Amino acid sequence: MTFLEFLLILLVLYYVIYVLLWIVLDCNVALWYKSRFGVSLSSMRGQVVWITGASSGIGRALALSLARHGVRLVLSARRVEQLEQVQSECLAAARGLLAQKDVLILPMDMLELEKHQSHLYTVLNHFEKLDVLVNNAGRSQRANWTDISVEVDRELFELDVFSVVHLSRLVVRYFLEQNGGRGHLAATSSIAGFSPVPFSATYCAAKHALNAYLLALKVEQRKLDITIFAPGPVATDFLQEAFTGSQGTKVGLSTANQKRLTAERCGELFAVSLANKMDLTWCGLFPVNFLAYCARNSTLTKILAQFMTEKTLNKIREGKL
């Protein structure tokens, strides 16, 4: 056997193993490795993490995962009753590691930009510091490209992009002034943020834009840790509040019986991403991992586009394949 033949065999084995991992794992390989052998979540004990969109879904699941390891929390969303429920669940999950004062309820509407600064002051007055901001609030979309009104485009960008950027800028300024530029900024993006999917044009564009904002910030502020967490289909109530193509309407669908990753598992993986300060991670059941990997490789993306129909992509996106 020649040396080149040996290298060829190794290359084939490498890709065979990778394909098997795409089928078995529910996240990218690097994230899976960190979940087994990386920094433990207990390393974040005592840190203050502010989570927007914390009343349900991924935000709630992330809060519970962090609470189990003694991470102090700020829970923000519009629905106060749900926040109070999440607070109780976090205290129970902490098993004595947290007191009630360690889980702050901070009701807020992300679209009320004029109140963002006062909300940040509230966090700092209560905990005297902030270590991590997790931008999780947002809404999805289901609509044909040609049916989307420009009003919906504006509304979705206001919530999923501009409100997130506005709050993040305030927090980054705090990091620069108080911590010499050190701090951790995270955001819930989406597989749609780097792999466009059908019937969600505005949402795809918004997540692409958010990713670009954060990546540009990373280039400017090298000391700042930035985590972009991009889940695929997750079993939450996300579609209940999702935009359509018309202003003032919602999709109002349940995803409970579809093939989706559980919110609890998604929250665990998000927490691992934060503890290990990973730049970009994603999660989802097969074939989401494969599609996400292809989206990161322009050659594979072009090849895949020749074989994946719109109907197939939509089934994958909706958790029906």
What pTM was computed for the model? 0.89
The structural domains of the chain, with segments of one domain joined by +, span 28-317
What's the N-to-C CA distance of the chain in angstroms?
A: 42
Average pLDDT for 224-236: 94
Task: Give CA–CA dist 4/11, Å, rounded.
Answer: 10
pLDDT reported for residue 177:
95
pLDDT reported for residue 59:
98
Average pLDDT for 13-20: 79
Task: Give CA–CA dist 184/208, Å, rounded.
Answer: 20
Task: Give CA–CA dist 151/156, Å, rounded.
Answer: 9
pLDDT class of 307 with cuts at 50, 70, 90:
low
**Cα→Cα distances 188→59, 99, 216, 235, Å:** 9, 27, 17, 15
Average pLDDT for 229-246: 82
With 80 as the cut, is the pLDDT of residue 170 above it? yes
Structure tokens at 5: 């033949």
Q: pLDDT tens digits for 174-210?
A: 999 998 889 999 999 999 998 888 899 999 999 999 9
Four-CA torsion 109, 114, 120, 126, nearest 10 degrees: -80
With 80 as the cut, is the pLDDT of residue 308 above it? no
pLDDT reported for residue 317:
58
Task: Give CA–CA dist 149/102, Å, rounded.
Answer: 43
Q: Which residues does the annotation mark as catalytic? A: 203
pLDDT class of 297 with cuts at 50, 70, 90:
low
Instruction: Quote the mean pLDDT of the chain.
Output: 90
Task: Give CA–CA dist 63/87, Å, rounded.
Answer: 9
pLDDT class of 241 with cuts at 50, 70, 90:
confident
The DSSP code sequence of 271-295 is HHHHHTT-SEEEE-STTHHHHHHHH
Task: Give CA–CA dist 16/18, Å, rounded.
Answer: 5
Q: Angle at CA 194, nearest 5°, toward 189 and 195?
A: 115
pLDDT reported for residue 203:
95
**CB-neighbour burial class of residue 214 (10 A; exposed 0-12, middle 13-18, buried 19+):** buried
pLDDT class of 1 with cuts at 50, 70, 90:
confident
pLDDT reported for residue 293:
77
With 80 as the cut, is the pLDDT of residue 319 above it? no
For domain 28-317, give the CATH number. 3.40.50.720
**Which H or E run contains 252?**
none
**Cα→Cα distances 304→19, 75, 309, 312, Å:** 15, 40, 10, 12
> Is 38 within 8 Å of 268 (Cβ atoms)?
no
Four-CA torsion 296, 208, 195, 301, nearest 10 degrees: -50
Lowest mean pLDDT among 76-85, 168-177, 243-252: 243-252
Structure tokens at 174: 């705090």
pLDDT class of 101 with cuts at 50, 70, 90:
very high
What are the contacts of 253-259 at 24+ separation with CB within 8 A? Answer: 253/142, 255/318, 255/319, 258/233, 258/318, 258/319, 258/320, 259/233, 259/285, 259/319, 259/320, 259/321
For 97, list phi and psi in degrees, rounded to 5. -75, -20
Nearest C-alpha neighbor of 54 from the set 94, 92, 83, 81: 83
Average pLDDT for 301-310: 62
pLDDT class of 318 with cuts at 50, 70, 90:
low
CA atoms 203, 208, 213, 214: torsion sign = positive
